[in-house]
Amino acid sequence: MRWFRRLFCKEAVEKQLDAELCFHIEQQISDHIAEGMNPGEARRRAQAEFGGVERVKEECRDVRWETHADNFLRDVRYAVRTVWKSRAFAAAAMVTLALGIGASTAIFSAIDNVLLDPFP
């Protein structure tokens, strides 16, 4: 159920992402200090090698499935609001779609029985 919780507990996921990125930067800094750099230079170089933290966060957010699910839910909410505002247009569109689907199904059934699947 962790995957479901991540969809609604975005603050906890963001904190976890921040902690992970800070860990990686600190690890890189400690590697540079072990190589003999002074701490200020090691921090500057680690941040330069790592790139912008916000850019990396954005890349991580784009890859996660929660972002796609959240975008889908937003699109559905927008569609429902739009349909609710113009109910007459929505009803006309649904009737048109129903008639079109029904007509094409009836025509295909007739053609399938007469031409494609002839009597034995």
pLDDT by residue for the chain (120 residues), tens only, comes to 565 666 666 777 788 888 888 898 889 888 888 888 888 888 888 888 877 777 887 777 777 777 788 889 999 999 999 988 999 998 999 999 999 999 999 999 988 888 877 766
For residue 14, what are its two tokens?
């963001």
| Residue/partner pairs of 15-23 with CB below 8 Å, 24 or more apart | 17/57, 17/60, 17/61, 18/57, 21/53, 21/56, 21/57
Quick one: pLDDT at residue 112?
A: 85
Q: Quote the CA–CA distance of 71 and 61 in Å, as a whole number.
A: 12
pTM of the predicted model as reported, rounded to 2 decimal places: 0.49
